[in-house]
Structure 1
């Protein structure tokens, strides 16, 4: 699940491309992209990639097929081997999880500080029922960050 807005076309395409391996392995059942009404560019990218499109985060959570949701920002890139960690977590754990930032990425102090305000900066792997209860229809609740575990799946966060 990716929340995109106008101007996110290239970042959205990079994130969707990094999900392909997970789709082949069966980890990713579908990609749902949340778009505002003014996001015609990202709509074209999402539509061309075969994504399901939702207008709100609550709608995206409601229409998602899987029990577990992976919420990402446009521009986030999942690195090789991520799907095994996600599948293992989904099979064994019941708490939400964040992905690990790749060691090759050394963000500045200010970038790390800004990332704390973005709940999906390091991805969020969460059960659909928990996401629905946490975020519901209140878009302002997206700032809430559930207590999470960090799993071995590596990613390069969106800049």
Structure 2
């Protein structure tokens, strides 16, 4: 089973897009719970999270949040990122056959222009992150309070399924 963590700050619309893409995983029994970590949003992020059945935190200890997740694997996404068709099967296969962390492939149809990709700083969660719960707890203890810090400088396997990055959603 997979627990999803999304950190947001005034990302109501982006959060709704991400949560709607995760419904397939919940229906298939892959996604056990979704946790939204909020930095004090003034928009409707809390309403969106609660309507979707997510656990919502305004203050948290990342190590404790990870310890309380229901799944044996953790998936961390930016608000607005959306896994595309086939993600449930690819993630299920990876969880069943491999113990290494993994990232999605960036969507070929929703990629930033070449020069922007070449010269901009990439966000460590641009293509998400999937990792075993034990590894996530270790990294959270060593790296800090934000899920973004979990993803930094980590060797991962590339999944065959694609993800629409959150940055592309913001440009649309």
TM-score (norm. length: structure 2): 0.83
Alpha-carbon deviation of 1:115? 5.5
Over residues 112-158 of structure 1, what are the superposed CA-to-partner deviations in whole Å (9 max), with x where a residue is unaligned? 65462x22110100011101111227136716231100011211010
Gaps of 5+ in 1: none
Distance verdict in 2 for CA 1:12–1:113, change over 3 Å: farther
Gaps of 5+ in 2: 168-172
The residue number in structure 1 matching 2:26 is 23
Single out whichever of 39-48 and 131-140 deviates more from structure 2: 131-140
TM-score (norm. length: structure 1): 0.89
Residue 102 (structure 2) pairs with residue 97 (structure 1):
yes
Over residues 71-127 of structure 1, what are the superposed CA-to-partner deviations in whole Å (9 max), with x where a residue is unaligned? 1000001111101000000011111000011111231233465462x2211010001
2: distance between equivalents of 1:28 and 1:112? 34
Residue 70 (structure 2) pairs with residue 68 (structure 1):
no
Alpha-carbon deviation of 1:46? 0.6
CA RMSD of aligned residues (A): 1.9
The residue number in structure 2 matching 1:155 is 163
> Alignment length, in residue pairs?
156
The residue number in structure 2 matching 1:39 is 41
Q: Is 1:33–1:60's contact at 8 Å kept on the other side of the alignment?
A: no
